[in-house]
Amino acid sequence: MTAPTLATERRIVDEGIVLDTPVMVVDESILHQNIAEMQSFANSHAVALRPHIKTHKTPQITRLQLQAGAAGITCAKLGEAEVMVAQGGADDVLLAYPIVGEPKIHRLLALMERAHVIVAVDTREAAAALSEAMAANERVLDLYVEVNTGQNRAGARPGDEALALALDIARMPGLNPIGVMTHEGHAGSSAPDAIERTALAAGRAMVETAEAMRGAGLPIRVVSVGSTPSSPYTPTVPGVTEMRPGTYVFNDNNAFRHGRIGPDRCAARIVATVVSRPAPDRAIVDAGSKALAYDPSPSHAGHGYIVGHPDAILSRISEEHGVVLLPEGEAEFAVGDRHEIIPNHVCPAINLTDELTVVRDGRPIDVWRVAARGMVR
Amino acid sequence: MTAPTLATERRIVDEGIVLDTPVMVVDESILHQNIAEMQSFANSHAVALRPHIKTHKTPQITRLQLQAGAAGITCAKLGEAEVMVAQGGADDVLLAYPIVGEPKIHRLLALMERAHVIVAVDTREAAAALSEAMAANERVLDLYVEVNTGQNRAGARPGDEALALALDIARMPGLNPIGVMTHEGHAGSSAPDAIERTALAAGRAMVETAEAMRGAGLPIRVVSVGSTPSSPYTPTVPGVTEMRPGTYVFNDNNAFRHGRIGPDRCAARIVATVVSRPAPDRAIVDAGSKALAYDPSPSHAGHGYIVGHPDAILSRISEEHGVVLLPEGEAEFAVGDRHEIIPNHVCPAINLTDELTVVRDGRPIDVWRVAARGMVR
């Protein structure tokens, strides 16, 4: 998995195909390769793969992941899960997010009629409300206790704090803590040479926390870890049983900085047209923050990677304009020229589009609806 | 228009109303006030108001703007215009964006059957393609020549460059340059005490450029300027005939830095729920970049403004999590508590949601579909 040289960079849409732009295209063969390789990695480490569907939000891709061998799926929000159970063939769903509030608890109960649902929990308050609803409806809910291994977002601290929380939850009627989970996103945000070390430390903290819970009598059978950048490392820690990467299906510009992939492993790209060339060193493309999202790249200049043009920098975006700074002599940015842009962060970019245009050998073969787009509830 | 004290900050949704979160709510009375005041300002300066609908993308709001006296609307993309002509009652549309490529030219011709359409142009290449299509279809297209007054995005430079472009365009069959336009967005991005000066300079450059075109025999009748931050200034320059603000209908956190408004003029807010409280100084809300958008605030810390809690900083967002850093003693961030967040930049936040929940006196009264959401083409 070394980064390819620029000579191997290729467009995924044939130059001769006219698509109205900006448009999100997905190369079928890269998508299949990304799904197969992650499944193969999980299998080789005897770890269950429960991919996070927030990246693609597309039922057809959930089906591809399940057909490849995924043990279930991960969703952030109930709305995503409802779509994937109804349309994506999912029957085993982790909601890797606290469920808080009466409207959501009602929807959770309805979803539990249609699929095995596991919910992440990291507070006694959220657990108590779930317990009350489960007991009232004579249901038992499987839970993962969320542990903060360093991202400092949600989650109880590893060790005693997580153990105390798990014990309290286990005493609540209708709740069944079966696992621990973490999102070690801080590994991917650390310096490239620190990712492995940070990820392994997170994995070990999780296994130790699970052991402590087992020692206290809790039947914890799942140790679940997350994130694509850390995916080569955390799941290799003995005792980790499940991995939940998301971005790997497409990859993105931020994945470059981890040094594991090149543009040719990036399945999702925005085809954009040069709509103005106001100065020799400046071109305007028709993709801005409403197509690419505004997410920064931690290490690369600009708002996306223009395939085949590493020196052309997408230096500024406004809502519908991308301002490209061009090196001297760059000849392929005349008005009407089209380019493929790999977003910095593919997940929010996919969440801006209603459809993915699927491409095989450079030609569109299908359009998939991003059915869970905008499902923030 | 002085900023109100914090004591006047109010929620727009009644505490007792249960809405599933995160949800974008719009206060009807603030919306009406914002629309009325901008129209009144335009009227008092005898300038046509042609609001940019990219901010709201909602037909009902286009209708409110037209009923208040707007002379027409501004859209960035054809898809927005198609929606507003079909559903928003618009019959006079400026496409403030270059139209490039055959698919769009076909759609433009179709739209011209249903509304008066003006198109921005800033290159001979785009103009030549439009000319060919108009001549072939025996149509005449009204154009504004886009001028770059300092934002350095699209546009010809004021004076000779714009004049030469306008003269070349005027010679092309089927094209009728009737105006000049600029988006003086650089004024709003400048230091607060420089906004007025920068905006006035942009306005004067536009009027001088229009005069030069008239002197060369071109019947330029419109001098059109844009952007909400500069809206109190640029339209006051004698000779400016049209203004195109967008954000003013809602306002946002970035508007604070211009010192003209307080939170109580912000009509659009995301109601979010505290879903975790992993540490005394840290709460997690259920609104992240997929609800708020990632756009930075140039002068305020954080990713949005939490109404009534100026010291609670929305310091980090991931896709579905907002990490709030809390001051000591902050008591209103328990799991289940709900807060209203004013986005840094309201336009991309609206573009993330399919619906606006309209609120009157704290209670939901209607749901409006953001019908032009995602219309990037």
Model pLDDT for residues A303-335, shown as the tens digit of each residue: 999 999 999 999 999 999 999 999 998 889 999
Query: Tokens representing A217?
Result: 């009598």
Of A208, A205, A199, A250, nearest to A226 by C-alpha is A199
CA distance B334 to chain A (A): 9
For domain A29-251, give its CATH number from 3.40.50.300, 3.40.50.620, 3.20.20.10, 2.50.20.10: 3.20.20.10
Query: How far is the C-alpha of B306 from the C-alpha of B269, rounded, in Å?
Result: 9
pLDDT of A74 higher than 50: yes
Query: How far is the C-alpha of B202 from the C-alpha of B187, rounded, in Å?
Result: 8
Residues sharing a CB contact under 8 Å with residue B169, sequence separation 6 or more, in sequence order: B121, B124, B127, B143, B145, B175, B177
Span A6-25+254-369: which CATH code?
A: 2.40.37.20
Residue A335 and residue B275: Cβ atoms within 8 Å?
A: no
Contacts of A314 in chain B (CB under 8 A): none
Q: Where are the domains of chain B?
A: 6-25+254-369, 29-252
Instruction: For residue A192, say if its preceding peptide bond is cis, omega within 30 degrees of 0.
Output: no
CA distance B5 to chain A (A): 32
Task: Enumerate residue ranges in chain B where pLDDT < 70.
Answer: 1-8, 257-258
CA distance A278 to chain B (A): 6
Tokens 């991960």 found at: A74
Residue B22 and residue A122: Cβ atoms within 8 Å?
A: no
Q: Which CATH class is domain B29-252?
A: alpha beta
Please tell me the predicted confidence (pLDDT) of residue B300: 76
Contacts of A104 in chain B (CB under 8 A): 20
Please tell me the predicted confidence (pLDDT) of residue A255: 84
Nearest by CB to residue A100, choosing from B123, B273, B289, is B273
CA distance A14 to chain B (A): 16
Contacts of B287 in chain A (CB under 8 A): 376
Of B19, B355, B302, nearest to B11 by C-alpha is B19
Confidence of residue A96 (pLDDT cuts 50, 70, 90): very high
Please tell me the predicted confidence (pLDDT) of residue B262: 87
Confidence of residue A7 (pLDDT cuts 50, 70, 90): very low
Model pLDDT for residues A194-253, shown as the tens digit of each residue: 999 999 999 999 999 999 999 999 999 999 999 999 999 999 999 999 999 999 999 999
Greatest CA separation found in chain A?
71
Contacts of A186 in chain B (CB under 8 A): none
- Specify the higher pLDDT residue, A107 or A297: A107
Percent of chain A at pLDDT exceeding 70: 97
Can you tell me the ipTM of this complex?
0.95
Please tell me the predicted confidence (pLDDT) of residue B257: 64
Q: What is the torsional sign of CA B11, B15, B21, B26?
A: negative
Contacts of A18 in chain B (CB under 8 A): 101-103
* DSSP conformational letter for A250: T
Q: What is the torsional sign of CA A159, A165, A171, A174?
A: negative
Confidence of residue A8 (pLDDT cuts 50, 70, 90): low
Q: How many CB pairs below 8 A link A and B?
A: 180
Nearest by CB to residue B103, choosing from A20, A100, A354, is A20
Q: What is the torsional sign of CA B15, B20, B23, B29?
A: negative
pLDDT of A346 higher than 60: yes
Looking at every residue in chain A, the average pLDDT score rounds to 95
